[in-house]
Structure 1
Amino acid sequence: MPFIRVSYREDQYAGGELPLISREIHAALMEHFRVPEDDYFQLFHAHKPSEFFYSPNYLNVERTDRLLYIQITLKSGRTVEQKKSFYSELAQRLSKIGIRAEDVFVVLVGTEFEDWTFGNGIAQMLETVREVQPHASED
């Protein structure tokens, strides 16, 4: 159930690159966090150069104007090792399509099942949890 927002400078990426980036993000999510293939919700936000700010060398990482901010909101509970492995895999995948690993900036935002509705005003993930793990009957 991840929700992904990718921000980038509009003068740095062509429209044809965005579907490739999207595909690689989703593939890494499926591999490392076992996200279902059809659990696919992403937004890409282009920014004018005057709206896009970053430190070019914070923590000794040399960034360029092709920096991608990738914010992933997802269910909490992944281990530190899963997260580290995901970061590495995503940087590798994106480097294969011409994006420097140094320009892949990722933030994971953890949420709980009750924080989501996928439409119809229903907390679908709470219903799914109840179906999978019914409450024990009280005596």
Structure 2
Amino acid sequence: MPFIRVSYMEKQYASHQLPLISQTIMEAIIKHFQVPEDDCFQVFHAHKREEFVYSKNYLNIERSDGVLFIQITCKSGRTTEQKTRLYETLATTLSKAVPMRQENVFVVLVENEFADWSFGNGAAQMLQSTEEV
């Protein structure tokens, strides 16, 4: 049940590249976080240059204006190994699929609990499914 936000500087990625980015992220989430294939909720945000601020070399990683900020909000409980493999897979596969530099793949996970989700109709569906178990 991840919710994914992808932010980038406008004119850095063409419209035909966004589906490649989306698909690559989804495949990595399915592989490493074992989410269902139809559990896909993604939002892409293009920002003007003046709205897009980042360090070009924080932690000695040389980023360019092609940096992608990928924020993944998901249920807590994944292991450190699952998370690090996800990061590695995203950097490797995005660099080939888009193509782009691995240094420009910036990922942050935001974890929460079942009570923090409503998929519509004003209901906490994930709480209902855990109560049924």
Q: Structure 2 length normalisation: TM-score? A: 0.97
Q: Which runs of 4+ in 1 moved over 2 A?
A: none
Residue 29 of structure 1 aligns with which residue?
A: 29
Deviation at 1:13, TM superposition (A): 0.7
CA offsets per residue over residues 75-126 of structure 1, 9 Å max, x none?
Answer: 0011111100110011111011211110000000001000000000000001
Residue 111 of structure 1 is matched in structure 2 by 112
What corresponds to 1:127 in structure 2? Answer: 128
Q: Highest CA radius of gyration, 1 or 2?
A: 1
**Cα distance in 2, alignment partners of residues 90 and 105 from structure 1:** 9
Task: Give the partner amino acid of 2:57.
Answer: N
Number of aligned residues: 132
After the TM superposition, which residues 1-139 of structure 1 pair with which residues of structure 2 at under 5 Å, given as runs?
A: 1-97=1-97, 98-131=99-132, 133=133
How far apart are residue 15 of structure 1 and its match? 0.6
Q: Which amino acid aligns with 1:22?
A: S
**Counterpart residue type for residue 43 of structure 1:** V
Q: Distance between the aligned counterparts of 2:51 and 2:111, measured in 1?
A: 26
Query: How far apart, CA to CA, are the structure 2 residues paired with 1:109 and 1:43?
Result: 15
CA distance in 2, matches of 1:101, 1:112: 30
Counterpart amino acid of 1:104?
V
Distance 2:130 2:93 in 1: 32
Q: For the aligned residues, what is the CA RMSD?
A: 0.6
Q: Which amino acid aligns with 1:116?
A: W
Paired residues of 1:11 and 1:49 also in contact (CA < 8 A): no
Unmatched tracts of structure 2, length 5 or more = none
Q: Distance in 1 between matches of 2:108 and 2:50?
A: 22
TM-score scaled by structure 1?
0.93
Letter in 1 for 2:110: V
